[in-house]
Amino acid sequence: MRFFVDTADTGAIADLAATGLLDGVTTNPSLILKSGRQFLDVVREICALVDGPVSAEVVALDHATMMKEADVLRKIAANVCIKVPLTVDGLKTCKALTSEGTSVNVTLCFSANQALLAAKAGATFISPFVGRLDDNGFDGMELISDIRLIYDNYAFETEILVASVRTPVHVLAAAKIGADVLTAPPAVIHALFNHVLTDKGLAGFEADWQKSGQSIL
C-alpha cells in the first residue's frame, strides 16, 4: 500500500519525504486555508518536494469552469493530479481529463455506487472518506471492502485511495482489505512508528550502553 500525506504543510511533507515512505500528497481547500498561503504557490512547492502524485482540487462546481481550473493546475508540474468532486459535473470533468492523459482523483466518495461511477468515468483514484462515515454512524471500512470487491470483479484500474483517516487502526484495516493507497495527516503517519515495547527496548539499550562507558565516535 502506498502512503500519501494529507496536508498543505510543506515542512511536514519534506520531513516525511526524507524517510523514503512518502509516495504522494493530497490537499484540499480547507488544508490550503489552514496553511495561510496562496494555493498555487503551495502546490508548486509540494510538487518539487515529492515525485509522486500531488492532488490539487478544483473549486468550481460546473464542468466548464472545472476544466479551466484544471488546465491552470496541471500546468504547474507533471505530477499534479486533478482532484474533482463526485458529482455529475465532476465525473464529466474526470472523463475529459483522463481521456487527455491527466491523472484524476475523485473525492468525497461515501458509497460503493459512487465509487462504481467514478471507475466507469476513468478515475485514476477514488477517495472514500472513512472517518467521516464513522463519525455519522456508518462503517467506513465496510465501504472500502465493498469497493475492493466491485473493482476486482470488473478489473477496474481505478485505485482505492482511503481518505479521512483518523487513527492507525484505519491504516491497518485498509491494508488488510487491500486498499491501493492511503492518505493521512502527518500525526497519524508518525503514530505508526510508536509502540511501547519499542520505547522500552530503546531505553534499556541506552542505559546499558551508558554503563559500558564506550563510544562509537
Please identify every residue annotated as catalytic: 83
- Candidates 15, 40, 2, 1; CA nearest to 186 is 15
Q: Confirm if 163 and 183 have CB atoms less than 8 A apart.
A: yes
Distance CA 118, CA 126 (A): 7
Classify residue 92 by burial, with Cβ atoms within 10 Å: 0-12, 13-18, 19+: middle
DSSP 17-39: HTTT---EEE--HHHHHHHTS-H
Q: Which phi and psi angles does 168 have, rounded to 5°? A: -60, -25
Distances (CA, A) of 191 to 3, 22, 114, 188, 214: 14, 15, 31, 5, 32
Alpha-helical runs (H) found in 10-164:
10-17, 29-35, 39-49, 63-74, 88-99, 112-120, 130-135, 140-154
In angstroms, rounded to a whole number, what is the distance separating the alpha carbons of residues 182 and 170?
9
Using alpha carbons, select from 55, 54, 56, 110 the residue that is nearest to residue 87. Answer: 110
